[in-house]
Structure 1
Protein backbone atom coordinates (compact mmCIF):
# COMPACT_ATOMS: atom_id res chain seq x y z
CA UNK A 1 0.00 0.00 0.00
CA UNK A 2 1.32 3.45 -0.89
CA UNK A 3 2.08 6.19 1.62
CA UNK A 4 -0.78 8.22 0.16
CA UNK A 5 -3.35 5.45 0.71
CA UNK A 6 -2.07 4.97 4.26
CA UNK A 7 -2.47 8.69 4.94
CA UNK A 8 -6.05 8.61 3.66
CA UNK A 9 -6.93 5.62 5.88
CA UNK A 10 -5.30 7.23 8.92
CA UNK A 11 -7.15 10.48 8.20
CA UNK A 12 -10.49 8.65 8.22
CA UNK A 13 -9.67 6.89 11.49
CA UNK A 14 -8.41 10.05 13.23
CA UNK A 15 -11.35 12.16 12.08
CA UNK A 16 -13.91 9.56 13.18
CA UNK A 17 -12.23 9.44 16.60
CA UNK A 18 -12.10 13.24 16.76
CA UNK A 19 -15.81 13.50 15.97
CA UNK A 20 -16.70 10.92 18.61
CA UNK A 21 -14.49 12.51 21.27
CA UNK A 22 -14.76 16.22 20.49
CA UNK A 23 -18.38 16.86 19.56
CA UNK A 24 -20.48 17.16 22.72
CA UNK A 25 -23.84 15.44 22.62
CA UNK A 26 -25.67 18.74 23.22
CA UNK A 27 -23.95 20.28 20.17
CA UNK A 28 -24.58 17.31 17.86
CA UNK A 29 -27.29 18.97 15.75
CA UNK A 30 -25.28 22.13 15.17
CA UNK A 31 -22.21 20.05 14.34
CA UNK A 32 -24.21 17.89 11.94
CA UNK A 33 -25.60 20.97 10.18
CA UNK A 34 -22.10 22.49 10.00
CA UNK A 35 -20.80 19.23 8.51
CA UNK A 36 -23.44 19.26 5.77
CA UNK A 37 -23.13 22.95 4.85
CA UNK A 38 -19.32 22.76 4.78
CA UNK A 39 -19.56 19.63 2.65
CA UNK A 40 -21.67 21.47 0.10
CA UNK A 41 -19.39 24.52 0.05
CA UNK A 42 -16.18 22.48 -0.08
CA UNK A 43 -17.43 20.23 -2.86
CA UNK A 44 -18.44 23.08 -5.15
CA UNK A 45 -15.33 25.12 -4.33
CA UNK A 46 -13.01 22.17 -4.88
CA UNK A 47 -14.60 21.33 -8.21
CA UNK A 48 -14.13 24.95 -9.35
CA UNK A 49 -10.46 24.99 -8.29
CA UNK A 50 -9.77 21.62 -9.94
CA UNK A 51 -11.55 22.62 -13.17
CA UNK A 52 -9.45 25.80 -13.30
CA UNK A 53 -6.32 23.63 -12.95
CA UNK A 54 -5.07 25.40 -9.81
CA UNK A 55 -4.88 22.20 -7.76
CA UNK A 56 -4.46 18.57 -8.80
CA UNK A 57 -5.09 15.41 -6.81
CA UNK A 58 -2.87 12.76 -8.44
CA UNK A 59 -3.86 10.07 -5.89
CA UNK A 60 -7.58 10.01 -5.18
CA UNK A 61 -10.21 7.55 -4.07
CA UNK A 62 -12.62 7.95 -6.99
CA UNK A 63 -10.90 8.27 -10.35
CA UNK A 64 -13.84 10.00 -12.05
CA UNK A 65 -14.02 12.65 -9.30
CA UNK A 66 -11.24 15.18 -9.91
CA UNK A 67 -10.79 16.20 -6.29
CA UNK A 68 -10.18 14.30 -3.06
CA UNK A 69 -13.26 12.58 -1.68
CA UNK A 70 -11.67 12.25 1.76
CA UNK A 71 -10.83 15.94 2.08
CA UNK A 72 -13.95 17.38 0.45
CA UNK A 73 -16.59 15.09 1.87
CA UNK A 74 -15.18 14.08 5.22
CA UNK A 75 -12.07 15.79 6.67
CA UNK A 76 -12.94 19.43 6.03
CA UNK A 77 -16.64 19.04 6.96
CA UNK A 78 -15.75 17.09 10.12
CA UNK A 79 -13.24 19.70 11.22
CA UNK A 80 -15.87 22.36 10.59
CA UNK A 81 -18.32 20.40 12.78
CA UNK A 82 -15.73 20.37 15.57
CA UNK A 83 -15.05 24.07 14.97
CA UNK A 84 -18.76 24.91 15.35
CA UNK A 85 -19.21 22.64 18.37
CA UNK A 86 -16.53 24.55 20.29
CA UNK A 87 -16.95 28.04 18.84
CA UNK A 88 -16.37 30.62 21.62
CA UNK A 89 -19.73 32.35 21.15
CA UNK A 90 -19.59 34.36 24.39
CA UNK A 91 -15.95 35.45 24.10
CA UNK A 92 -14.41 38.66 22.83
CA UNK A 93 -13.99 39.38 19.13
CA UNK A 94 -10.24 38.90 19.59
CA UNK A 95 -10.80 35.38 20.97
CA UNK A 96 -13.16 34.59 18.10
CA UNK A 97 -10.68 35.79 15.49
CA UNK A 98 -7.93 33.81 17.22
CA UNK A 99 -10.14 30.72 17.11
CA UNK A 100 -10.63 31.17 13.36
CA UNK A 101 -6.91 31.79 12.88
CA UNK A 102 -5.98 28.69 14.88
CA UNK A 103 -8.22 26.37 12.87
CA UNK A 104 -7.37 27.89 9.48
CA UNK A 105 -3.63 27.94 10.20
CA UNK A 106 -3.55 24.37 11.50
CA UNK A 107 -5.48 23.02 8.54
CA UNK A 108 -3.39 25.03 6.08
CA UNK A 109 -0.14 23.86 7.66
CA UNK A 110 -1.20 20.22 7.35
CA UNK A 111 -2.28 20.74 3.73
CA UNK A 112 1.05 22.37 2.84
CA UNK A 113 2.96 19.49 4.45
CA UNK A 114 0.83 16.97 2.53
CA UNK A 115 1.33 18.94 -0.70
CA UNK A 116 5.11 19.07 -0.29
CA UNK A 117 5.61 15.46 0.80
CA UNK A 118 2.99 13.35 -1.01
CA UNK A 119 1.06 13.00 -4.25
CA UNK A 120 -2.28 13.63 -2.58
CA UNK A 121 -2.33 17.35 -3.48
CA UNK A 122 -0.31 19.31 -6.01
CA UNK A 123 -0.52 23.09 -6.24
CA UNK A 124 -0.26 24.16 -9.88
CA UNK A 125 -1.69 27.68 -9.70
CA UNK A 126 -2.45 27.77 -5.99
CA UNK A 127 -0.67 28.86 -2.83
CA UNK A 128 -1.08 28.24 0.88
CA UNK A 129 -2.65 31.63 1.54
CA UNK A 130 -5.55 30.87 -0.85
CA UNK A 131 -6.22 27.76 1.23
CA UNK A 132 -6.15 29.83 4.43
CA UNK A 133 -8.49 32.49 3.00
CA UNK A 134 -10.83 29.83 1.61
CA UNK A 135 -11.00 28.04 4.95
CA UNK A 136 -11.66 31.29 6.78
CA UNK A 137 -14.49 32.25 4.42
CA UNK A 138 -16.10 28.80 4.48
CA UNK A 139 -15.92 28.67 8.30
CA UNK A 140 -17.58 32.09 8.52
CA UNK A 141 -20.33 31.07 6.08
CA UNK A 142 -20.88 27.77 7.87
CA UNK A 143 -21.07 29.42 11.29
CA UNK A 144 -23.46 32.13 10.08
CA UNK A 145 -25.68 29.55 8.43
CA UNK A 146 -25.78 27.32 11.52
CA UNK A 147 -26.51 30.32 13.75
CA UNK A 148 -29.26 31.53 11.43
CA UNK A 149 -30.84 28.10 11.07
CA UNK A 150 -30.76 27.37 14.79
CA UNK A 151 -32.47 30.71 15.55
CA UNK A 152 -35.04 29.94 12.88
CA UNK A 153 -36.08 26.59 14.39
CA UNK A 154 -36.06 27.75 18.03
Structure 2
Protein backbone atom coordinates (compact mmCIF):
# COMPACT_ATOMS: atom_id res chain seq x y z
CA UNK A 1 0.00 0.00 0.00
CA UNK A 2 1.38 3.38 -0.95
CA UNK A 3 1.45 6.37 1.35
CA UNK A 4 -1.25 8.01 -0.79
CA UNK A 5 -3.69 5.12 -0.35
CA UNK A 6 -2.92 5.00 3.37
CA UNK A 7 -3.64 8.75 3.65
CA UNK A 8 -6.94 8.35 1.77
CA UNK A 9 -8.01 5.55 4.12
CA UNK A 10 -6.92 7.53 7.18
CA UNK A 11 -8.80 10.64 6.01
CA UNK A 12 -11.94 8.57 5.45
CA UNK A 13 -11.64 6.87 8.82
CA UNK A 14 -11.08 10.15 10.64
CA UNK A 15 -14.01 11.86 8.94
CA UNK A 16 -16.39 8.98 9.69
CA UNK A 17 -15.14 8.46 13.25
CA UNK A 18 -15.57 12.08 14.26
CA UNK A 19 -19.26 11.97 13.36
CA UNK A 20 -19.84 9.69 16.34
CA UNK A 21 -18.44 12.32 18.74
CA UNK A 22 -20.90 15.04 17.73
CA UNK A 23 -23.36 15.68 20.58
CA UNK A 24 -26.93 14.80 19.64
CA UNK A 25 -28.25 18.23 20.57
CA UNK A 26 -25.78 19.87 18.14
CA UNK A 27 -26.12 17.44 15.24
CA UNK A 28 -28.24 19.80 13.10
CA UNK A 29 -25.74 22.61 13.67
CA UNK A 30 -22.92 20.25 12.68
CA UNK A 31 -24.78 19.19 9.54
CA UNK A 32 -25.41 22.73 8.31
CA UNK A 33 -21.79 23.65 9.11
CA UNK A 34 -20.50 20.66 7.16
CA UNK A 35 -22.71 21.33 4.14
CA UNK A 36 -21.99 25.07 4.06
CA UNK A 37 -18.24 24.58 4.12
CA UNK A 38 -18.41 21.67 1.71
CA UNK A 39 -20.15 23.86 -0.86
CA UNK A 40 -17.35 26.41 -0.67
CA UNK A 41 -14.54 23.85 -0.88
CA UNK A 42 -16.30 22.18 -3.80
CA UNK A 43 -16.54 25.39 -5.80
CA UNK A 44 -13.04 26.60 -4.91
CA UNK A 45 -11.43 23.25 -5.70
CA UNK A 46 -13.12 23.03 -9.09
CA UNK A 47 -12.00 26.58 -9.93
CA UNK A 48 -8.39 26.02 -8.82
CA UNK A 49 -8.16 22.76 -10.78
CA UNK A 50 -9.61 24.36 -13.91
CA UNK A 51 -7.20 27.32 -13.85
CA UNK A 52 -4.29 24.92 -13.29
CA UNK A 53 -3.24 26.18 -9.87
CA UNK A 54 -3.41 22.70 -8.33
CA UNK A 55 -3.84 19.16 -9.54
CA UNK A 56 -4.54 15.84 -7.91
CA UNK A 57 -2.44 13.03 -9.43
CA UNK A 58 -3.81 10.38 -7.04
CA UNK A 59 -7.54 10.58 -6.39
CA UNK A 60 -10.46 8.34 -5.54
CA UNK A 61 -12.66 8.99 -8.57
CA UNK A 62 -10.17 9.11 -11.43
CA UNK A 63 -12.77 9.33 -14.20
CA UNK A 64 -15.41 11.43 -12.48
CA UNK A 65 -13.49 14.51 -11.39
CA UNK A 66 -10.02 16.03 -11.50
CA UNK A 67 -10.19 17.16 -7.87
CA UNK A 68 -9.33 15.36 -4.66
CA UNK A 69 -12.58 14.14 -3.20
CA UNK A 70 -11.86 12.89 0.29
CA UNK A 71 -9.82 15.68 1.79
CA UNK A 72 -11.71 18.50 0.08
CA UNK A 73 -15.22 17.16 0.56
CA UNK A 74 -15.02 15.25 3.84
CA UNK A 75 -11.91 16.07 5.91
CA UNK A 76 -11.72 19.86 5.56
CA UNK A 77 -15.49 20.40 6.05
CA UNK A 78 -15.31 18.15 9.13
CA UNK A 79 -12.55 20.34 10.57
CA UNK A 80 -14.79 23.37 10.03
CA UNK A 81 -17.67 21.53 11.68
CA UNK A 82 -15.58 21.04 14.80
CA UNK A 83 -14.52 24.68 14.57
CA UNK A 84 -18.19 25.66 14.83
CA UNK A 85 -19.02 23.13 17.54
CA UNK A 86 -16.08 24.18 19.74
CA UNK A 87 -16.25 27.93 19.04
CA UNK A 88 -15.96 29.98 22.25
CA UNK A 89 -19.02 32.23 21.87
CA UNK A 90 -18.80 33.93 25.26
CA UNK A 91 -15.07 34.52 25.37
CA UNK A 92 -12.53 37.24 24.71
CA UNK A 93 -11.66 38.38 21.22
CA UNK A 94 -8.13 37.02 21.63
CA UNK A 95 -9.44 33.53 22.32
CA UNK A 96 -11.76 33.74 19.31
CA UNK A 97 -8.90 34.85 17.05
CA UNK A 98 -6.72 32.03 18.39
CA UNK A 99 -9.55 29.61 17.66
CA UNK A 100 -9.58 30.78 14.05
CA UNK A 101 -5.79 30.59 13.76
CA UNK A 102 -5.56 27.08 15.22
CA UNK A 103 -8.25 25.53 13.03
CA UNK A 104 -7.10 27.28 9.86
CA UNK A 105 -3.51 26.23 10.60
CA UNK A 106 -4.56 22.59 10.91
CA UNK A 107 -6.05 22.71 7.43
CA UNK A 108 -3.24 24.73 5.84
CA UNK A 109 -0.47 22.56 7.23
CA UNK A 110 -2.35 19.39 6.34
CA UNK A 111 -2.64 20.57 2.74
CA UNK A 112 1.00 21.70 2.72
CA UNK A 113 2.29 18.37 4.00
CA UNK A 114 0.22 16.25 1.64
CA UNK A 115 1.37 18.41 -1.26
CA UNK A 116 5.04 18.09 -0.27
CA UNK A 117 5.24 14.48 0.91
CA UNK A 118 2.58 12.71 -1.19
CA UNK A 119 1.09 12.80 -4.66
CA UNK A 120 -2.40 13.57 -3.39
CA UNK A 121 -2.06 17.23 -4.32
CA UNK A 122 0.43 19.05 -6.53
CA UNK A 123 0.99 22.80 -6.41
CA UNK A 124 1.54 24.22 -9.90
CA UNK A 125 1.76 27.95 -9.27
CA UNK A 126 3.95 29.84 -6.83
CA UNK A 127 6.43 28.86 -4.17
CA UNK A 128 5.49 26.77 -1.12
CA UNK A 129 5.63 29.92 1.03
CA UNK A 130 3.32 31.90 -1.25
CA UNK A 131 1.03 28.86 -1.45
CA UNK A 132 0.75 28.76 2.36
CA UNK A 133 0.04 32.49 2.55
CA UNK A 134 -2.68 32.15 -0.10
CA UNK A 135 -4.16 29.20 1.79
CA UNK A 136 -4.23 31.14 5.05
CA UNK A 137 -5.95 34.10 3.41
CA UNK A 138 -8.46 32.03 1.46
CA UNK A 139 -9.37 29.78 4.38
CA UNK A 140 -9.73 32.82 6.64
CA UNK A 141 -12.24 34.25 4.17
CA UNK A 142 -14.01 30.86 3.88
CA UNK A 143 -14.16 30.46 7.67
CA UNK A 144 -15.48 33.98 8.27
CA UNK A 145 -18.08 33.69 5.52
CA UNK A 146 -19.30 30.26 6.63
CA UNK A 147 -19.21 31.20 10.30
CA UNK A 148 -21.41 34.21 9.62
CA UNK A 149 -23.78 32.06 7.57
CA UNK A 150 -24.00 29.31 10.20
CA UNK A 151 -24.51 31.89 12.96
CA UNK A 152 -27.30 33.54 10.99
CA UNK A 153 -28.86 30.20 10.15
CA UNK A 154 -28.68 28.87 13.70
CA UNK A 155 -30.39 31.99 15.06
CA UNK A 156 -33.12 31.66 12.47
CA UNK A 157 -33.82 27.96 12.91
CA UNK A 158 -32.67 27.41 16.51
CA UNK A 159 -30.38 24.52 15.58
CA UNK A 160 -29.02 24.05 19.06
CA UNK A 161 -31.55 22.40 21.32
CA UNK A 162 -30.76 23.30 24.91
How would you bin the TM-score normalised by the shorter chain? over 0.9
Matched-pair contact (CA < 8 Å) for 1:28–1:85 = no
TM-superposed deviation, 1:24: 2.2
Match of 2:73 in 1: 73
- 2:10 partner SS: helix
Aligned residue pairs total: 153
Partner of residue 44, structure 1: 43
List structure 1 runs of 4+ shifted beyond 4 angstroms: none
Correspondence list, 1:43-122, <5 A: 43-63=42-62, 64-122=64-122
With structure 2 as the length reference, what TM-score do the two structures score? 0.89
Structure 1 spans left out of the alignment, 5+ residues: none
- The CA distance in 1 between the partners of 2:46 and 2:133, in whole Å, is 19
1 CA distance for matches of 2:25 and 2:133? 34
Question: Which ranges in structure 2 are unaligned for 5 or more consecutive residues?
Answer: none
Deviations 1:91-129 (A, max 9, x none): 111111100000111221121111111000111115112
- The CA distance in 2 between the partners of 1:150 and 1:37, in whole Å, is 12
Q: Which residue of 2 aligns with 1:146?
A: 150
Query: For 2:65, what is the secondary structure of its paired residue?
Result: coil
Aligned-pair RMSD on alpha carbons?
1.3
